[in-house]
Amino acid sequence: MRPVDQAAGHEGVLQDASGQLLFKPSCAQEVKFYTDVQGDENLAALAELMPRFLGTLTPGKMIENLNDSEATIVDGTIKIDNDATYIVLENLTNGFYKPSIMDAKLGKVLHDDSASEEKKQRLSAVAAATTSGSLGVRIAGMRVYKDNQPIVYDKQYGRSLTEETFHTSLLDFLGHLTGEHRDYVVSRLYMDLKAIESAIEESEIRMKSASILLVYEADPEAFLQAKQYAETQQEDNQSESSEDSSVSAPKLIAHARIIDFAHSSIAPDQGPDTNVLEGIRTLTAVFDRLIDGEI
Ligand code: ADP
Ligand code: MN
């Protein structure tokens, strides 16, 4: 077990040795949301755009040594912090050699109805002072490779952006990429954002403080390998019988997924989540401007 490279959020998100699995301290509401979405065939398109949910690790069952405060792996047994329940997810940074990551938090309203008065006021104040309130989306954080070095943009970075300067976050994220590398990354991310937009339009759910996680391969060599991999995948589509997903060679160019459902629930007969849609549309609009060469 080792820490995963995070763009934002609470620390303590872990991955297994292979990098395929991610372990995040979580809560009953997030477990319920994953379970509800994966069990509802009307939400199949949405489920495709979330990390795969594999289950939970419950303290007392999987943990041998309750005095351990850190996650370790000993003799093949996972030992983790004893007072957190972890959810086990697909690690969205797996398949990348040098993943650049952006966490874009969605919504003008960031609290759910069950939040305390104090929390409602605090989150409303943050929204009012940031692009959450004006654009329905705010950069919670980024971790971007530039010249082979990871550069961390913390939460203050995203809070300091305004309606007018929000688009510069996209330039800080991927504006330094050039040529084919840039074109592929931009088009893959854009494709996923559009898919997320339409899945949300067709789903009856409510998400508060969920994010879109955008990830791309920052290493130029690894990008070329991933591109080649994608091309061979296409060629021997049917002949490829057993795909060895444990090999950690760079395989992905870029993708975007929705994450963080501690305050999300399904909402039958309530229609689409317009609070979240507004933020997604802001993001796709900034991508449109980038693609058109306007920024
Ligand atoms: P919170 O904001 O409540 O701490 P999140 O679900 O937003 O929890 O996770 C925090 C950070 O962990 C995210 O910003 C992201 O960088 C990373 N992360 C979360 N889930 C995944 C995942 N499935 N794959 C890769 N990274 C993830
Ligand atoms: Mn988060």
Domain boundaries defined on the chain = 2-90, 99-235+246-291
253, 230 Cβ separation under 8 angstroms: yes
For residues 131 and 58, give the distance between their C-alpha atoms in angstroms, rounded to a whole number.
Answer: 37
51 lines ligand 1 (CB under 6 A): yes
Mean pLDDT of 241-266: 81
Q: What is the pLDDT of residue 181?
A: 98
Say if residue 11's pLDDT is above 80: yes
79, 23 Cβ separation under 8 angstroms: no
193, 287 Cβ separation under 8 angstroms: yes
Say if residue 74's pLDDT is above 70: no
Ligand 1 atom index nearest CA of 6: 16
Say if residue 286's pLDDT is above 50: yes
Say if residue 188's pLDDT is above 50: yes
8 lines ligand 1 (CB under 6 A): yes
Mean pLDDT of 188-212: 98
| Stretch among 24-28, 76-80, 126-130, 197-201 having the lowest mean pLDDT | 76-80
What secondary structure, in 3-state letters, does 181-221 show? HHHHHHHHHHHHHHHHHHHHHCCCEEECCCEEEEEEECCHH
92 lines ligand 1 (CB under 6 A): yes
Mean pLDDT of 93-106: 97
- Amino acid letter for position 151: I
Please give the CATH topology (third level) of the domain spanning 99-235+246-291. D-amino Acid Aminotransferase; Chain A, domain 1 (3.30.470)
Closest C-alpha residue for ligand 1 atom 15: 6
User: Could you tell me which residues are beta bridge partners of residue 138?
Assistant: 105
Longest dimension (CA), the chain: 58
Is ipTM > 0.90 here? Answer: yes
- Rounded distance from Cα 240 to ligand 1 centre (Å): 32
